[in-house]
Amino acid sequence: CEFCHWNDTFIIPARVLHSWDFTVSKVCRASKQFLKLMQKKAVIRIQDVNPMLFVYVEQLNEIKKLREEMMIM
């Protein structure tokens, strides 16, 4: 409806996690506000949601290895 949708757009986290798709999509005003609030917070464990992403996205796998090395220090 015109009260919720004002042609706001945002990247949909589920599409990133499942398809590595960073396409900007239309969202309602409330969803955009929520996504902006959560944008900088690490609330989703990629390994739990889509562990195969580390196989297909080399940069993501490199970051994972670096984090594991840091945990050993």
Nearest to 30 by CA among 47, 49, 53, 5: 5
Point out which residues pair with 47 in neighbouring strands: none
Give the tens place of pLDDT for each residue, 21-55.
Answer: 999 999 999 999 999 999 999 899 999 999 999 99
pLDDT of residue 2: 76
Q: What confidence category does residue 64 fall into, taking pLDDT thresholds of 50, 70 and 90? A: very high
Burial class (CB in 10 A: 0-12, 13-18, 19+), 27: buried
- Domain boundaries defined on the chain: 1-41, 42-73
